[in-house]
Structures are given as C-alpha cells and as structure tokens.
Structure 1
Amino acid sequence: MTVISDQEIADFSADFNTNSKNQVASRAARRSGLLEASFNDRVSERLNHVFSTELDVDGVTDQKHSGRCWEFATLNVLRHYFGKQNKVKDFTFSQAYNFFWDKIERANAFYDAMIRLADRQLNDREVQSWLAFAGEDGGLWSMAINLVKKYGVVPSYAMPESFNSNNTTGLIDSLARKERKDAIALRKLVSEGSSQDELEKAKKHFLNEVYRMVSVALGEPPKKFDLEYRDDDKKYHLERDLTPREFVQKYFKDFKFDDYVVLSNCPNHEFNKLYHMPLYDNVDGGDQIKFLNVPIEYLAQAAVAQLKSGDAVIFGNDVLKQMERKTGYLDTELYQTDKLFGVDTKMSKADRLATGEGFATHDMTLVGVDEDHGHIRKWKVENSWGDKYGHKGFYEMSQPWFEDYVYDVVVRKEFLTDEQVKLAEGPAIDLKPWDNIG
C-alpha cells in the first residue's frame, strides 16, 4: 500500500479547478442532488405511454415495504388469467396468504440444510450463505409457483394485507434471529450423535414455533372461503366453501404451470446451459429453481411473442438502476452522472454481474410493447408499488434498459426454440449459493 502524498492531493485539486465546468457541476449537484442534477428529461420523447401491443389491464397492486415483488408479480399474472377467463378485471389475490406459507416452507428448507451441513465449520461459505438467507422475503417466480401448487391461492379479501405483511422488516428480522439460533442447536445435536428421529423431533418443534410467530404476525391462513365477485357485465357470482387448493384446481385447470420456463441473460455464465440454484429450492418435493441462460435477444423475442398471445410476462431486473419513480421512466440515459463527474463508469453486463455491481433486485410484469417494423422501441411495465408512481402505477422501459438491466423472463415453452426446449427439459448444472446469476 502506498501513502497519498500532499503533492498528489495538491495535483488533484489543481486538476479539479482547471476546468470551470467542475465548479458549475458541483454547485448544481450540491443544490439538488446528483441524480436530479444529471437528470435527462429528453427521454420523455421516446417514453410516451403509447404501445403497439398492450394488454387490457386494470389497476396495479402495492407491495408496500416488503420484498414480496416475486409473489406480487406471479399473482398478477394469475389474476390477469383469472380476469380474462371470468370477465373480471379488478379481481386480486391475497399475497399475504402465499407469503405465510413461504415463511413456513423456507424455514423447513433452512433447517434441513443446517442438518445436512452440520459437519462443516460455521464459517464455511455454503453454511454462511444459508445463514445470510435466513428469514429473507425475496424470491422468484418458480418459488411462488411451488407455493401455489401446494397451498393454492385465495382472494385478497379472504386474507387481507396487514401491517406486518406490508412492512416485513420486523417479521423477517425475528425469523432470521430465531432460525440462526436454531441452527446452532441443530448443529450441536448432530455433533452429539443424535438420531434422525431426535433431529426430526427438534426440527418439528422449531417449525411449530415458526408457525406460531408467522400466525401472530400475519394471522392464520383460511382453510375455506366463499368466492364472491361481480363480473365486468355486472353479473353476480357466489361459490361457497372452497379450499385454496380447490380454487386452483377448478379455476386454473387449463393454466399449464409446468409449461413455463425462466430464460435468463447472465453473460458471466455460459449460454445455452440450464442452471439450478439449490439455495432457492423453497418447497421440499417441489420443482427445482432453474434458469436457461441464453443471449438477450431470445428474452426479448419470447416476451414479445407471449404478449402478442395475450399473456403478461414476469421479468427479473435491477430496478434501482437508471429509474425514476415519479415518472416511471426506465432508460439507460436517464441519469447522466458520468457526464456530471467527467468519468466513465460503464461496464459490460458480464462484468457488472461478476463484480456484484449487477443483480436482479425486483420482479415486475410486462404488459405491453411498442414495435416499429419488428424493432422494439419500448415496453409497458406493471409494477407493484401502487398507483402514485409512474403513469398510474405503470412504467415505461426503453429497449436499451431491457438489454442492460433485465436478467430473466418467464415464458411458455412454445415461444422457445426446439433446442431451448430440449435444454430446459434436460439436466441442470448446480450453482453454488454465491454464484451471481442475476
């Protein structure tokens, strides 16, 4: 390590003051903030709320202060399907219901992992990955579908949002603390030579406590409910005593959950490979969490095709990059901070992933696209941050932003190439928990 000398600091200052534009930029940035000072309002010329293909979608949902975007996005796709099949656009499902079961299933997976890895040191990288993941509320489409397949869904009125589902910090902090303490206890039992029956008894005791905690925070989920709604033609519907599983079996019998594939674009990993993320396998006996990694153009092509078929598309993305909540703009030229600083921070997508600069932080839903003779101009995005942001809750995304900051789309197999279908149905490569695949 070398020491920064006084002469070097003097040189830096002299260089800064050589260009008078630096002082102008500094005054603007200090007065209004870096992002506002570098905001490019010209992006509005291409992000104008008009789309050549657009789904008939009603109002947006609001995940509030929680990391449940993956559940909101998944249930948005299901509500669009239900709405189209039953002519009821404003019907919504309970995110709190599926969130409840996510906490139970994820605790079960965590305890199993702690028993399986008990012979490793506590500072082992895989053990640490599981400990860091304890209690988290982020997730993925396939995880949400595992929960829907096992537990079904209920209307939002059957298990409404509460303070703790809208503001999950207190619950996930409590769950993480408990699960980490339980991990120490399970590791001790293994080290003492406890039998499998003794380990299962301890795990059941811990899961019972987790169930209690989640029930206190969210309320117990309903075992039955009455399906009641008035459709878009004002016709009244009532079906009594449905279980959540019966609801899915009856009203989603033609929704082929297993026909969907997650196409990822993570150029820091080899393309045309199917990858498996064991850390995210949230339901014992459920589907594995897999991604088929392909070049970005295939994500765009499949997403456009699915939109034109009349169905929405879930996509994972790095929403906090080059985004403004007020306007709902997602554009790579939105904030020109490099020009403000006089530096170049642009990196390739592969380099951003490899260094941790790039990461999928949010799930949203594509509900429209604007094309000009096959050239994609922009996308219409349904977010889950309420209707006070963007254009009544909908965002506009440029194609360059899609290419830079979208990491996966969830599409049906019919929109893949024959080779991609074979890959998606074949064996997967297991990734380490610390591998960044967007």
Structure 2
Amino acid sequence: MGINNELLTKFKDQFDDNSSNQVIKGAIAKVGIDDASLDNNVLRKHSFEFSNETKRGTITNQKSSGRCWMFAALNTARVDTMNKLNMESFEFSQNYTLFWDKLEKANYFLDSILETLDEAQDSRIISHLLMDPVQDGGQWDMFSGLLEKYGAVPKSVMPETFHSSNTRKLNSILTSKLREFACQLREGYQAGSTQNELTAKKEDMLYFIYTVLVKALGEVPETFTYTYRNKDDEYCRIKDITPQAFFKEYVGWDLTSLVSLLNAPTEDKPYGRAYTVKYLGTVKEAKPIQYINVPIQVLKEAAVASIKDGQPVWFGCDVGKMSIRDVGIMDEHSYNYELTLGEDSGLSKAQRLDYGDSLLTHAMVFVGVDLDEQGQPQTWKVENSWGDKSGKKGIFSMSDKWFEEFNYQIAVDKKYIPEKWLKALDEPIIELEPWDPMGALALVK
C-alpha cells in the first residue's frame, strides 16, 4: 500500500484534532526537539555531591578527535602518577599514544588484508575491513596493548599538534591510502605474487604511514627528561627515562590484572562467558580483546568497590542517549519525548542492541558515587574529556538507572570481581563477528 491523498488527509485531520500539537510544533521549530522536551525536574535530582570520591586531575579536552578512550584510560592512570610524584594534577600525552595507535592500526589492517586474500571482493568481511581501518576509536583492551608495548609520557614531552587535536583530515588521508594499499595487495596476490613479496610490499606501505604520522604528530621520544614541581613547590627532575620505564615506575599497573566487564543482556551472549571480536584490535601481537559478560549489578558492585578503594574506573557507554551535554546530566528522564512527540522509546536494553538502536560510543571515568543509607548507588560522578565548558566544569552526574540502561563496559582490577565470574577467563573464549555491536568503538567527540 502506498501513500495517497486520502491517507495524508487522514493524518492531517488527526494532527489538527490535537490542539497541543500546534504549541509543541512551534516550540520544536524554535528550540529543537531536545530543548522543547527537557524535563527541568531532572536538574533537581542531580546535586553533583557524592558520598564517595577518588582523586582526579584537572579536566582534559580531546577537542576535535575521537580519542575519548585514550583520555579516559590516561585520566585513570594519572591518579597513581599524581600520588607517586606528589603532584596536585598531571596529564599524559594523548598525542604519544595516538601516534602508536594509528601506526599499529595500520599494521593490523594490512595484516588482516593479507589474512583474507582468498575472500571475495564483495564479501562482508572485506567490506567491513575497508570501512574505517584507522579511525580514532577504541576499547579498553586495545589501549592496554598500547600501554604494555609503548608505555606513556607526560604531555610536555610530546604535546598536541594541529592534527592530534583535529584528526578528521589525517584520518581521511590515511584511510584512503590504506584502501589503496589493500587494493595493491589483493591484486598482487591475484597476479601471482608470493607471500614474501607481499610482506615486503606491506613493509614499504607501513613506512609511508609512519612518515605521514611523524609529519602530522611529531617524532616519538625514545628517552626523555621530565621536570616538574610537586605539591610542596619542590623542583624535581626525572632524567633519561624511556616511556615504558616511566609507565612502569610512575603508574605501576599490572595490566594483566585489569579485566573488562561487559553488560550485553542479549540472548546470543550468555552471562558468565568471555567474548572477543574477530578482526578487532590495535597491537597485532597483544592478547586478543576479551570481556566477561555479566549482569549489570556486577558492574555496579565492582565499580563501587574500586571507587571506595580510591581507584577511578574506566567505562564505555552510549553517551548520546538521554544526556544533557551542556549541564552534564545523564538521566533516563532527561527528556519528555512522550509528551512532545507522542511516544518514548519502547525498546529494552537488549532490544536496542539487537536492533541497532544503541551501542558503546564514548568512554569516560567514574571518579565518585553517591550511596544511600543502604549502600546503594543513586548517582555517579563522571570525569569527561570535553573540556570544562560542558557539564559542571567538565564533571557529569549519571543516574543509577541511566547506568543500567546505557552503560556497557567497565575496566577494573580482578580483586573487585567475584571469582564466579572470573572463571569465564579459564573457558574457551567466544568469538563474535566483526559487525557485532560489542565491537563498537568509543570515539564520540
């Protein structure tokens, strides 16, 4: 059945019969759907006061880049550095990790192309690989691999450049070139090139990517000297140290003890099992990405335990859902869409995942939680990386119900996770297809 005049007349009459539609239409035309639907009562629920808080540094700004997962991970790590160096605040170089992420992603992509040379050009896997081979986004285990291999450096050692803060054009150039390289490798294979010949060609391709990154982001330091003043105004110097040694000594994480917990309540992903995603990674030789799928209450309890212990918590969520960006509130009742549009979303969390209506889009850090008298979370204190102009000087407040509906992943130490869930790591890991929603990357700007 098509759309005809009779149907359109029926729709118009139905719309006109509801007088409130005229008022709502005018309001939306003037200020947009969200502002017209904003529930001001939600603002009263978020005092931005929290019963338990961790130490944190000054608010950071990822600017026009999708490096939220890097900022969140480094903002989590810097708390230990601040303690070890007796500093009020500290910031790692996100440009340093961006450089290595781009180079490693390019290598991962080219290796994936070499591994799939027998796939048809129009196969779903080739289409997936070519879609966005070197974008900004990532997940916790991808960053863990970078830290393990390359360590980290203070921001002053490798400061921002134009393209680290504005990645769109750099990504476009790298993506176009990598697609060209994929074409050359596949056509070379079809023309009879040997594996050794293709591998040698790949090395030349990777060198080109390296040269572009050095020109756009700067040379990465092999060793450096870092000078600073601590909280007692004492001048301090750390001489001739490598990035790997700096991370080991002044963060000191055992990366093998940090576990990613997932909440994906869909039928195809039973709780208590560990999952990975095919063709998703950054450092090729790093351990595969893996997360344990558990009930949402397990994520909450682990996050609360970590915060009580003074340890911030990296997390990944769908930040665009029911979020008031300018005031920094994430609440399931932020907008009265039912009153302005006639209907609100009727999908459950599982249905949103199954039908492509939600996935992980952004990473931030839990730096506090407000617990009631029974010890149950009411609101969560969130450190974002959008600068101090959004939220309350960069801090967001998340309702506990929003956590349940739109939070998908946290990374915490094993000691905060009950043993019954950690047993999943001893069982065979379940591989998900590359296009599974759990393969989504945090990259919202």
Flag whether TM exceeds 0.5 (same fold): yes
CA contact (8 A) 2:328 2:396 kept: yes
- Partners of 1:83 and 1:427 lie apart in 2 by 39
Deviations 1:283-308 (A, max 9, x none): 12112111111111111111001100
Q: Which amino acid aligns with 2:263?
A: N
Is the Cα contact below 8 Å between 1:278 and 1:288 reproduced in 2?
A: no
Task: Give distance in 2, aligned partners of 1:419 and 1:172.
Answer: 42
Deviation by residue 1:252-284 (Cα, 9 ceiling, x = unmatched) = 34x211111111111123222110113222112
Q: Is the 8 A contact 2:57 2:90 kept in 1?
A: no
Distance across 1 between alignment mates of 2:153 and 2:55: 23
Deviation at 1:245, TM superposition (A): 1.4
Q: Which amino acid aligns with 2:155?
A: S
Secondary structure of residue in 1 paired with 2:136: coil
SS in 2 for 1:279: coil
Matches within 5 A, 1:229-378: 229-253=228-252, 255-268=253-266, 269-372=269-372, 373-378=374-379
Match of 1:186 in 2: 185
What is residue 97 of structure 1 aligned with on the other side? 96
Q: CA deviation at 1:115?
A: 0.9
Unaligned runs of 5+ in 1: none
Q: CA deviation at 1:193?
A: 2.5
Contact 2:161 2:217 in 1 (8 A): yes
Gaps of 5+ in 2: 441-445
1:381 corresponding residue in structure 2: 382
**Contact between 1:330 and 1:396, CA under 8 Å: does it hold in 2?**
yes
Alpha-carbon separation, structure 1, partners of 2:100 and 2:413: 26
After superposition, what is the alpha-carbon deviation per residue over 1:185-222, rounded to whole angstroms, capped at 9, x for unaligned? 01112222322221111000000000011111111111
The alpha-carbon deviation at position 425 of structure 1 amounts to 4.0
Partner secondary structure for residue 29 of structure 1:
helix
Letter in 2 for 1:259: S
Cα deviation, residue 55, structure 1: 1.4
Cα distance in structure 2, aligned partners of 1:382 and 1:249: 24
Provide the C-alpha distance between the structure 2 equivalents of 1:25 and 1:332, rounded to a whole number of angstroms. Answer: 21
RMSD, matched Cα: 1.2
3-state secondary structure, aligned to 1:411: strand
Q: In structure 2, give the amino acid aligned to 1:283.
A: V
Greater CA drift, 363-372 or 414-423: 414-423
**Contact (CA 8 Å) 2:57, 2:75: kept in 1 or not?**
no
State the SS of the aligned residue for 2:160.
coil
Correspondence 1:197 to 2:188: no
- Stretch of structure 1 that moved more, 260-269 or 375-384: 260-269
Find the aligned partners of 1:22 and 1:97 in 2 and give their Cα distance.
53
CA distance in 1 between counterparts of 2:245 and 2:385 reads 27
The AA in structure 1 aligned to 2:359 is: F
Compute the TM-score of the two structures, normalised by the length of structure 1. 0.97
Report the secondary structure of 2:248's partner residue: helix
Q: Which secondary structure state, in structure 1, belongs to the residue aligned with residue 236 of structure 2?
A: strand
Q: Distance in 1 between matches of 2:251 and 2:17?
A: 67
* Contact 2:57–2:78 (CA under 8 A) maintained in structure 1: no
Offset at residue 236 of structure 1 (A)? 1.9
- Partner of residue 208, structure 1: 207
Report the secondary structure of 1:409's partner residue.
Answer: strand
SS of the equivalent of 1:157 reads helix
Q: Which residue identity lines up with residue 320 of structure 2 in the other structure?
A: L
Q: Contact between 1:119 and 1:191, CA under 8 Å: does it hold in 2?
A: no
Q: Percent identity?
A: 38
1-structure distance, mates of 2:408, 2:88: 29
Structure 1 contact 59–387 (Cα < 8 Å) conserved: no
Match of 1:68 in 2: 67
Q: Distance in 1 between matches of 2:111 and 2:246?
A: 31
Q: Distance in 2 between matches of 1:117 and 1:402?
A: 39
In 2, the alpha carbon distance for the partners of 1:246 and 1:366 equals 27
Counterpart contact for 1:80–1:89, Cα < 8 Å: no
Q: What is the rounded CA distance, in whole Å, between the counterparts of 2:81 and 2:174 in structure 1? A: 33
The count of residues paired between Structure 1 and Structure 2 equals 436
How far apart in 1 are the matches of 2:338 and 2:172?
37
The structural deviation recorded for 1:352 is 0.7
Aligned pair 1:22/2:35, yes or no? no
Shift of 1:375: 2.0
Cα distance in 2 for residues equivalent to 1:237 and 1:359: 44
User: Quick one: distance in 2 between partners of 1:128 and 1:275?
Assistant: 23
Q: Counterparts of 2:393 and 2:362 in 1: how far apart (Å)?
A: 19
Residue type of the partner of 2:100? W
TM (norm. structure 2) is 0.96
Q: After TM superposition, give the deviation of residue 379 of structure 1 in Å.
A: 0.3
Alignment match, 1:415: 416
Number of the residue aligned with 2:433: 432
Partner of 1:58 in structure 2?
57
The answer as to whether partners of 2:279 and 2:434 remain within 8 angstroms in 1 is: yes
Give the match for residue 83 of structure 1.
82
Rounded Cα–Cα distance in structure 1 between residues aligned with 2:296 and 2:318 = 15
- Partners of 1:148 and 1:6 in 2: how far apart? 62
C-alpha separation in 2, matches of 1:173 and 1:24 = 44
How far off its partner does 1:126 sit? 1.1
Cα distance in 1 between the residues matched to 2:369 and 2:348: 25
CA shift at 1:183, angstroms? 0.3
Are 1:281 and 1:287, in contact at CA under 8 Å, matched by a contact in 2?
no
Instruction: Tell me, in whole angstroms, the C-alpha distance in 1 between the residues paired with 2:32 and 2:365.
Output: 30
- Residue equivalent to 2:130: 131
